[in-house]
Amino acid sequence: MKKLFATTLFLIAAIGLPTLGTAKNTSKNKAGGSSRPVAARIPVQGPAYATREDVMRWADDMASRRDLDRDWVRQAIGQAHFLPGVPRLMLPPPTGTAKNWRVYRSRFIDPIRVRAGVAFWQANRAALERAAKEYLVPVEIIVGIIGVETVYGQQMGSYRVIDALATLAFDFPTSHPRAAARQEFFRGELEQFLSLSQRTGADPMTPVGSYAGAMGMPQFMPSSVVRYAVDFDGDGRIDLSSSPADVIGSVASYFKAFNWQPGMPTHYAVRFDPERLDKEALLAPDILPTFSVETFTAKGAVLDGVALNHKGPLALVELQNGDAPPSYVAGTENFYAITRYNWSSYYAMAVIELGREVAAAMPAASTVAR
């Protein structure tokens, strides 16, 4: 029976148990990851935060605001260590770095990941089918997310979550263009993580994950665990590291919360009428669907077939290809929903295409309804 997150879920802190892999870098606090499993790299630790007066003052304030035990919070945060290699990983690429969709795609859609996706789909057909039915989210999207995030659990990260969150909460790089907002985000995630741990008696020193503090097969941040994780296997706890059913249900729950539209395509092919094209106007809203079919085509975008009957707004999505011409698609609200998991159109296309490749590779008798 499906249950929303409850205090029982953290009894074993299963979202971060130690299947170690390479911590990933995606734009939802993580931008990608290796396409192949590799040996875990244990990060170098710097000094403990117990010596920082500003951190201890923050701990006292957080304990007061959250009605938590002050000594416990101080001790927990005091045992967190600065990770000297993490702040630079949060910096955007140098100005002038060319994006390349073809290169990005090749990191996620390869034979190893596709085979792993087929094995995951075959092993978890019942849970995938049930999630698709209950949440109305296609199996391909669920499978694509888990594959891009962690190669179906093979690369869940090797950073202690408390170290990663503390480092980004208290030593976020000031040179980042949105440093204040990002640091505030990570302080909120650290609060969520410690609040869950304290109220359930879990050891906050145990969970491991990405360098940004994301955990488990779906790489959920602590706030996402609170809001979207579900006990899909009905065993009374949520385990995002070892229970594929919980992972599948939680990913589907996430997309339902972000208004996934059943039956709507993620994107359509698009070409341009050079005589009418106003590409600057079409790209101005970025990937936020803004244009009706009529206004979209009036600005020189050309759609064909079923796309002309699309109900709802569209966005022109540009995928750069280095020195080659960019690729373009007309993104729908469902394309945008995928970018709420990770704020990147490249990520969204990788999820979509990996899911499709896995579906195409499935034996015909094993493919569930999509």
**Buried b vs exposed e over 77-116: b needs ≥16 C-beta within 10 Å?**
bbbbbbbeebbebbeeeeeeeebbbeebbebbbeeebbeb
The distance from CA 289 to its chain's CA centroid, rounded to whole angstroms, is 20
DSSP string, 26-94: BBTTBB---SS-----PPPP--BGGG-HHHHHHHHHHHHHHT--HHHHHHHHHH-B--TTSGGGGSPPP
β-strand partners of 269? 329
What type of residue is 266?
T
Q: How many CA atoms lie within 13 A of 364 on its CB side?
A: 0
Q: How far apart are CA 23 and CA 188, in angstroms?
A: 21
Helix intervals (H) in 201-278: 222-228, 244-257
Catalytic residue among 149, 189, 191, 357: 149
What element of type H or E holds 315? strand 315-321
Q: What is each CA distance from 209 to 12, 96, 262, 322, 343, in whole angstroms?
A: 15, 31, 32, 31, 19
Residue matched to tokens 């000031």: 174
Tell me whether residue 189 is one of the annotated catalytic residues: no
**Known catalytic residues?**
149
